Amino acid sequence: MKQKKPLTPDDIMKYEIAEELGLMDKVKTNGWKSLTARESGKIGGMLASRKRRKNCENQPSERKSSIQRLS
């Protein structure tokens, strides 16, 4: 029997996005392989944009820090 690996933060976000798109029933019954390329791409695109946004929020931009240095 296959051992379940712990979910990573990316996995959790992927499940959340699938739920938002109404795809979790399909994933639960038939697995991730049952999704079409368009559905998988939509999830991947939303995942990438959220990760990018999260990274931008966590890192101060150079513009903000340069403005603070000038004042």
Q: Find which of 4-8, 38-42, 50-54 is predicted with most confidence, using mean pLDDT.
A: 38-42
Write down the pLDDT at residue 2. 66
Evaluate if residue 18 carries a pLDDT over 70.
yes
Which of the four pLDDT bands, split at 50, 70 and 90, describes residue 57? confident
Residue 4 lies in a domain: no
> Which residue, 57, 58, 55, 47, is CA-closest to 13?
47
- Looking from the CA of 12 toward its CB, the CA atoms found within 13 Å total 4
Q: What percent of the chain has pLDDT over 90?
A: 65
Write down the pLDDT at residue 11. 93
Residue 35 lies in a domain: yes
Residue 13 lies in a domain: yes
Residue 2 lies in a domain: no
Residue 1 lies in a domain: no
- Where in the sequence is the domain holding 37, given as residue range(s)? 9-70
Q: How many domains, the chain?
A: 1
